[in-house]
């Protein structure tokens, strides 16, 4: 017990200088839907921040596509931020928002499975390899910098092949979230005879059976909702600041992707008018699965001081993320948006009940029927491009 406490104290000591930098204030710090009082809950706040999965540049992984880059340093920051947002969704999906992480403490097996989804290997479903190659279908060469909307479209396509997490990924178009379309997509379950015949991973059986009534209802596919926005022309319009901050207060919050031109950050909360973010711009060595099947997770949690920036310095191109494990979570989110976002004269985005009549018909994306050898997760982007059932719309400038 003493050793656990000493490790915890050491972890807090690392943040000592950072704590002194915070202003002496009674203001609340908001981190992904949870509030912390700075004066009395500093250690709790820092523990909450360090529990988020932190993905950075890596080097010495196998070349992307066999002959491509073996490091994403200098170009992969937005992809890493997309990984962080998705990883937070998966943590909420399997472990809950209140789950916490401690160094060298044994974690649930679902945690290890989540981590392995993001390893820098071509056969991991959300690896830098899969994301970079899927970006080719979005007009991005391997090694080219992504914007928030491109990352969202790539995650939407890759999720079609991810049966264990079974997420419905909705990326809004034209600054508009359509309730009817989301309900249609999340109530569409892949219960074909072929899928039913496949045996799900043991961990999935264990996690759904052991949690009883709290497990996901079979009538609702857990929702990852991404809202790409442009909140100004060359810089963020101050009229959007309050609404933007409100999104971090929502229990469904997954934060935001954004930053500065060609410099992406994962924003997880705010204090006053300063955004708190995790920074992917550190290059670490590739980490692979160990012989016992686990991953050494020491380099996947940021124990350094999280950084802050004034919200008005944010590039206007951003993407908000939200996770709704059950339908009631989505209904609650809609109510919060009506109350906090739609009250503004110049709205950050729109929430409508019905599919706009001038849009193409909405067809929920489905996993394409393809024959693979099982040697790779996805052989090429062509499989998804051929079966992509939604048109990707560029976000209109405001």
Tens-place pLDDT, residues 64-102: 998 999 999 999 999 999 999 999 999 999 999 998 887
> How large is the average pLDDT for residues 318-325?
97
What tokens were used for 64?
């992307």
Residue listed under structure tokens 């979230």:
177
Positions marked active-site: 77, 279, 281
pTM: 0.82
CB atoms within 10 A of CB 193: 6
- Alpha-carbon span 236 to 165, nearest angstrom: 35
Confidence at residue 267, expressed as pLDDT on a 0 to 100 scale: 97
Work out the pLDDT band at 268, boundaries 50, 70, 90: very high
- Alpha-carbon span 380 to 156, nearest angstrom: 16
| Average pLDDT along the chain | 81
pLDDT at 51 over 70: yes
For residue 271, list its beta bridge partners.
Answer: 29, 274
Work out the pLDDT band at 396, boundaries 50, 70, 90: very low
Confidence at residue 373, expressed as pLDDT on a 0 to 100 scale: 32
Residue listed under structure tokens 């993001």:
118
The beta-strand segments (E) located in 223-287 are 223-230, 253-260, 263-271, 274-278, 283-285
Q: What is the pLDDT of residues 277-290, one digit of tens each?
A: 999 999 999 989 88
When computed from its CA atoms, the radius of gyration of the chain, rounded to whole angstroms, is: 20
Confidence at residue 8, expressed as pLDDT on a 0 to 100 scale: 39
Mention every residue, 6+ apart, whose C-beta is less than 8 A from residue 92: 254, 323, 325
For residue 36, list its beta bridge partners.
Answer: 29
CB atoms within 10 A of CB 13: 9
**Which helix (DSSP H) or strand (DSSP E) does residue 58 occupy?**
strand 57-59
Are 180 and 356 a contacting pair, CB within 8 Å?
Answer: no
What tokens were used for 357?
């009549």
């Amino acid at each position: 017990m003493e050793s656990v406490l000493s490790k915890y104290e050491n972890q807090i000591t690392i943040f000592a200088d950072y704590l002194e930098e915070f202003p002496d204030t009674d203001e609340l710090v908001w981190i992904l839907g949870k509030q912390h009082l700075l004066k009395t809950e500093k250690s709790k706040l820092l523990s909450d921040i360090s529990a988020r999965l932190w993905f950075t540049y890596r080097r010495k992984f196998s070349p992307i596509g066999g002959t491509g880059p073996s490091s994403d340093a200098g170009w992969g920051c937005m992809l890493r931020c997309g990984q962080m947002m998705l990883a937070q969704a998966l943590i909420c999906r399997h472990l809950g928002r209140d789950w916490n992480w401690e160094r060298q403490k044994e974690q649930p097996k679902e945690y290890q499975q989540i981590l392995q989804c993001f390893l820098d290997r071509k056969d991991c479903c959300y690896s830098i390899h899969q994301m970079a190659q899927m970006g080719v279908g979005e007009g991005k060469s391997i090694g080219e910098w992504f914007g928030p909307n491109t990352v969202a479209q790539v995650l939407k396509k890759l999720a079609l092949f991810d049966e264990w997490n079974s997420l419905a990924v909705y990326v809004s178009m034209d600054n508009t979230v359509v309730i009817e379309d989301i309900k249609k997509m999340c109530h569409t379950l892949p219960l074909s005879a072929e899928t039913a015949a496949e045996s799900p991973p043991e961990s999935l059986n264990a996690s759904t059976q052991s949690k009883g009534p709290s497990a996901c209802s079979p009538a609702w596919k857990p929702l990852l909702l991404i809202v790409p926005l442009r909140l100004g022309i060359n810089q963020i319009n101050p009229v959007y600041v309050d609404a933007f901050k409100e999104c971090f207060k929502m229990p469904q919050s997954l934060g935001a992707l954004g930053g500065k031109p060609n410099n992406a950050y994962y924003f997880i909360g705010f204090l006053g008018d300063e955004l708190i973010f995790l920074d992917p711009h550190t290059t670490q060595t590739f980490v692979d699965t160990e012989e016992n099947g686990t991953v050494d997770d020491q380099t996947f949690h940021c124990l350094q001081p999280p950084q802050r920036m004034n919200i008005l310095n944010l590039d206007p191109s951003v993407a908000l993320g939200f996770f709704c494990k059950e339908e009631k979570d989505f209904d609650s989110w809609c109510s919060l948006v009506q109350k906090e976002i739609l009250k503004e004269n110049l709205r950050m985005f729109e929430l409508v009940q019905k599919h706009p009549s001038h849009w193409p018909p909405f067809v929920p994306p489905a996993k394409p029927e393809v024959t693979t050898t099982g040697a790779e997760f996805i052989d090429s982007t062509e499989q998804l491009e051929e079966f992509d059932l939604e048109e990707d719309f560029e976000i209109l400038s405001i």
